Structure 1
């Protein structure tokens, strides 16, 4: 029996891995990467699976997918699919929560190191002819005397603590799901306010939900050290970018590194584009050749499991009717 998997979008060069793996299990793929929403809706009408990356998979698309058994996310977060509607329709939702732990951790740490050393600002100064204009009245910190605050102490947060601790950086963490005062992997769990007060660097690894929207805004910046560096490789919207831009201008904080921004339009912008000691990358923290190939392979494997009436490894909505 032949099956059909619709791939809504992806950002890598080809679907060779998907073609080979899914094809070996009699699953044909339809590439909708450049399709309109209307074209996507038409294709999912007889699809057994939807594989998606960044596109919004809303109720309208899901209701059109009358045969669909599984919606498999290329990635970690599942805030771009209507999980409640999937559950109602009996569609299993899966993700790959641990494929890029090293890559995201390295990206966040790289931003911290670069912002602390003012690498980008100094390079800009040099290429603009300012080799002799160096001003050393800047708060570059010695790592062995610095503290990193990790907001969200899950897989990525713990990987970061292991890697950066080897450089001599002291780590503390805040996580609303963990008890203040506990010691986990030699890292003390502290209150959010204490983390803001003590940290020289802060890295954020929490989902974007109602309670975390603008988790960092004017009040939080005012509680931070005035040379503190804030990095977000999680979700746009966790940081109030307008307030962050003002805080940088006024010397309330020291630097910002973002792999995600609030504006998700086709031509995104941010008030932070005009600030110094800012690094913004286009949501590439997840990427290495190895992590991307692992992501493609494991996402397909989840589809194969569900189509073959097996339980997926990463079951987002286990309350869905039994498969």
Structure 2
């Protein structure tokens, strides 16, 4: 009799157990569904952000093309329009582009001023030559003669200052990798020497020290896709200590030679934690670890 009661109780418990199991499975899949939905929403938001950023980069490259064509006024106006857009971040150096466009425009106006100075100088020379053949009684206008001579001296000084400018000059040349460079900065012997900024026809830019049209010394190079390098250069290549950054927050800090990682270096993850470190040879880590490729 007792056994039959125990069997009956167990039989009655089975539906409850099955019901509890079903509820547990339901809660598990419900939680998993919510989690997947959140991940999907986040992925869609990231995708939308990437699409907007790509469109923004394309817009900036179209404006950069105005700058390369020499349409500095239109480029400057377009840059200011983008800067006033509060919904977009300054991820591509828009303020630097504005500064370069202003410099280019100023230099263009300065070149026009040079021509005006030279034209006025020629006019004064012509007046002076005519004055020598005028009758003796007209030469008595000493005040006019004095004014002409004073103007010639002032214009000669202005011309000399314009001809001797060493900061803020504009050059175009081709670098060692075949890219056209539009350069604004210090110039010596008709070449980039000292500090300056260059915009490449690829959309990249470099700001830093130069020697004979080559990147040499401390500088920063920014690629159009968001990667950038800050450190030392020699003979137009990354040489010495420098840091290479990826858009996702990862970075490499260490030694470079001929645009490749050579020597001691450390690779950091996007959270700032060390992923791997050691000695590198021609962009390869001599011990096993995670690697990221840098630009050649």
TM-score class, shorter = under 0.3
Name the one with the larger helix percent: 2
TM-score, normalised to structure 1, is: 0.23
Q: Which has the higher contact order (CA 8 A, sep 6+)?
A: 1
The structure having more radius of gyration, on CA atoms, is 2
Name the one with the larger strand percent: 2
